[in-house]
Amino acid sequence: MDVLWRWTERLRRLLLPNRVEQEVADEMEHHLAMEIRERVAGGMEPAEARRTALIDFGGVERFRAEARDVRWGSGWDRLAQDTRYGLRTLRKNPGFAAVAMLTLALGIGASTAVFSLVNAVLMRPLPYGEPENALWIQTSWKGSPNASISPAEYLDYRDRLTDVFSAVGVYAFGALNLTGDGEPVRVKTAGLSAAALRALGVEPAIGRSFTESEDLAGAPVLLLSDALWRQRFAAAPDVVGKELTVNGRRREVIGVMPPNFRLPENLLTGSPAQVLTPLGIDPARVEDRGSHFLSGVARVRDGVTRQQAVAALEALAIAFGREHPDAYTPDEQFMATAIPLEDQVRGPIQGPMRLLMATVAFVLLVTCANVASLVLARADHRERELALRSALGAGRGRLARQMMVESLLLGLAGGLLGVLVAFAVTRGLVAWMPFDLPWLADVGINRRVLLFACMLSLSVGWLFGLFPALGASQARLMEALKEGAKTSQGSMRSQGTRRLLAVGEIALALVLLSGAGLLGRSFGRLIDVDPGFQIRDVATTRINLPQAGYPSNGEVTTFFRELIPRLEALPGVEIAGAVTNLPLATRLGDMNFVIEGRPLPERANPPAADWQTVTPGYFETLGLTLLRGRAIAASDVSASTGVVVINETFAATHWPGGDPLGRRLRLGGRGTQPEVAEVIGVVRDVRHDSLTQRRKPQMYFAHEQFRFWNSGRAATSMSLAVRSSLSLEELRAGVRDTIWSLDASLPLADFRTMSDVRRLSIAVPRFLMSMVASFAGVAFLLAAIGIYGVMAYTVSKRTAEFGIRLALGARPQDLARMILLQGVRLTALGLSIGLASSLVMSHAISDLLYDVHPNDPATLLGVSLLLAIAACVACWRPAHRASRVDPVELLRTE
């Protein structure tokens, strides 16, 4: 309380000097008035009383001035004085000030840039109402830790947990063709159950949400995203009731979502759904417990704790096993739980963000060490100045504070430059960001980031100011003032500190370099991964045939049968094909099957394999090598025998050493599925889900035959692949016009090369690697500068000693070797500390590494060598200078 009062009083003196001045005047006047009154009461003449009182007081003006001095001499005045003095000394040493500020600008700039990233991605509130009450329903079973929800499960969650959840909603993503008004476009959509928006705590900005009855019937209504509303309706406020043609069907607009609305999956990455439609679960599927394709969110009811809600959900999931023993066999280990929506959304980005934060913290430490070293060296030079000031009456505390104020000034100046650096870096990041991170668009320098930079600058200034301030408070006056005393105790001590700092810098730089090296090596491995198909010279686009124009399977198969030869007829196109799921751009689902002639043991699960459907030219277009048998051919039509091509892992798993050709698979689980496919060929494995995917059994069905999924419908949404050496631009018009020659309402969606697809699939590791590598580069440079500074300073301090040594017969090269050895010792110490730390710390990034051991000896050895060489180069110049000392010249000047 007293301290608080003292500072408010100081602040008052600073801000209201006139009022405080008046108070003093009043106080003194009161004093005199009292004094005079007393004297008059004692029998004195009033004039005489006044005269003597004034004499005894001793001069009103004089004491008013003295009181003012006392007031100003406190706190602010000293601070202002220190600041002025600090600025002057910094101006007198422009070289030192510039180097220190630039170094700080690097460290603070990098930290601020990363903070602005973290601020935009991790600290931003979710755009949902009371996000703490929103839960994400997470289904898992053996091999699938984070799976979706099946329709029947959703209905159970919705209807049987009403006592703990106020809303349970599900949704599924899709894509629709939007026609009318110029070139048709393909938009991302989401089908939402009526309660989904309520569970998220979001209301449309205009209009209303879906009703339960619209949800059940899958009514022809839709909600627009803010972006699509602006684009298609020029943000007209009376949009409700207007119609849009999606997939050839007219739908009525019932509302517009708020601008920042995105479904949880789209918050961090990917483009948002532009059109929301009622989910409308197919009545045939209400008992479906096998197809998990729905995302589920639930809102905890008021007065119910999250733990209670989760417990109720888990109990229900366990009950599923009892109620439907066929659908949930024990060894499937089915389970459902709920996690905070927050964790679901931010979970995936947390690891990389932590890595970036740790990296930048290391860079900052190296920066601090470097500047501390600089400041210490300068403090040595200033020892006599400090001693002199101390002799003239400056207290030790005052000197220490003086040093601290200078450091803080440096920190603030560096921070100011750092904000500029951060501004440039974040601008670059956003522009260069190779993948779609919507939140990153807002990365920038805002008030919170500025506050962070300011706090950081001050604490950094405080940190590196600590050493010289402590030194100053222990300054040995006599020693420093002694004539000819070149190296005093104080400077020996600070020299030791500086060596320690250099060792620390090398250790920190090595940890960063090995992290960067590991990520780089891992990325190199990633790039070298053979995806199982040929990336080069393949262009791809997505085709989605709407129900309205293609009501039956006949129209769908005819479309592709006609389209593909026309594409192949284009000049420059070798071959074309289509596939339901494009590798490296989608994830495959799996399907159970039973091998004919191999009865399934009681209570065992049928085997499963990832599946997809292809048109005849697909294997050749993607350069998928056929190992045995034949590929899907034009003769594999719906009327002929069902065929399947399997991959080598499938063959090796189920027919190790045997011949799979001619064997037959019954598709589906335990039930009596009539669909049968005969194995006609074996192809190489394809890394489909990602380049790092482990080998899995895969099945390829003929597009024209496969009806098992999607209630007997042939796949209507396919990716076209075109092999051509022409560029994307050269191909575009031809491919588009060919598609339009069959159906002008189809958009040319996601038209890109397979190289683009692959690049996008490894964008995150590439981003992380580049960030960590640039930070490590900065640390590397700073560490080299740090050791150079220490060695150069040592040499300059010991010049006299070297002169004497030379005069006594030492050879110049001996001196050079001595200095070099000293540098090497420091480097070796730093490297061993850094190596030991790397061995431990690199395990923290093992999740981010592909095919590289966290303690990869080649990487660790390589970066150590790199750093050792750099340190030796940095020591060479000082060592050379030591050998060039001229003893005669030196002895003359000493």
Contacting positions for another protein (CB under 8 A): 2-3, 5-6, 9-10, 23-24, 26-28, 30-31, 34-35, 56-60, 62-64, 66-67, 69-71, 74-75
Q: What is the DSSP string of 880-893?
A: HHHHT--HHHHHHH
Q: How is 463-529 classified by DSSP, letter by letter?
A: HHHHHHHHHHHT--HHHHHSTT--S-HHHHHHHHHHHHHHHHHHHHHHHHHHHHHHHHHHHHHHHH-
Q: Which is nearer to another protein, 7 or 625 (CB)?
A: 7
Give all strands (DSSP E) within 783-852, no chain letters.
Answer: none
CB of 20 to another protein, least distance (A): 9
Distance of closest approach, residue 29 Cβ to another protein, in angstroms: 10
Q: For another protein, give the closer residue by CB, 27 or 847.
A: 27
Neighbours of 739 (CB within 10 A): 20
Cβ 70 to another protein, closest distance in Å? 4
- The CA distances from residue 650 to 489, 578, 631, 646, 699, in Å, are 76, 22, 16, 6, 8
Shortest reach from residue 12's CB to another protein, in Å: 11
Closer residue to another protein in complex, CB, 38/562: 38
Which DSSP category does 617 fall into?
T
Closer residue to another protein (CB): 12 or 486? 12
- Give the Å distances, CA to CA, from 279 to 212, 247, 250, 414, 802: 10, 15, 16, 55, 85
Provide the minimum distance between the beta carbon of 41 and another protein in the complex, in angstroms, as a whole number: 13
Nearer to another protein, 67 or 866 (CB): 67
| Closest approach of another protein to the CB of residue 35, in Å | 7
To another protein, the closest distance from the beta carbon of 44 in angstroms equals: 16
73 versus 524: smaller Cβ distance to another protein:
73
Residue 559: which of 670, 714, 442, 708 has the closest Cα?
714
Cross-strand pairs, 253: 222
Q: How far is the CB of 68 from another protein (least distance, A)?
A: 9
Question: Hunting for tokens 């119609």 — which residue is that?
Answer: 243
Q: Report the residue number, 31 or 381, with the smaller CB distance to another protein.
A: 31
CB of 16 to another protein, least distance (A): 14
Task: Provide the β-strand partners of residue 321.
Answer: none
Say how many C-beta atoms besides its own lie within 10 A of residue 259's C-beta: 12
Please report how close the Cβ of residue 36 comes to another protein at its closest, in angstroms: 11
- Residue 394 or 890 with smaller CB distance to another protein: 394
Query: Minimal distance in Å, beta carbon 49 to another protein?
Result: 14
Amino acid at 873: V
Cα separation, 180 vs 249, in Å, equals 11
CB burial of 852-877 (b: ≥16 within 10 Å; e: otherwise) equals bebbbeebbeebbeebbebbbebbbe
Dist CA 680 CA 142 (whole Å): 30
Strand partners, 300: 165
For another protein, which is the closer residue by CB, 9 or 814?
Answer: 9
Q: What are the residues whose beta carbons fall under 8 Å from the beta carbon of 540, sequence distance 6 or more?
A: 582, 719, 720, 721, 722, 750, 751, 752, 753, 754, 757
Residues 217 and 240: their CA atoms lie apart, in Å, by 20
Return the closest-CA partner of residue 333 out of 73, 118, 473, 147.
147
The CA distance from 418 to 416, in Å, is 5
Q: Distance (Å, rounded) from C-alpha 716 to C-alpha 174?
A: 12
CB-nearer residue toward another protein: 67 or 357: 67
Q: Nearer Cβ to another protein, position 5 or 432?
A: 5
Q: What single-letter amino acid sits at 193?
A: S
Nearer to another protein, 29 or 730 (CB): 29
Tokens of 461: 């200034």
Least distance in angstroms from the C-beta of 58 to another protein = 3
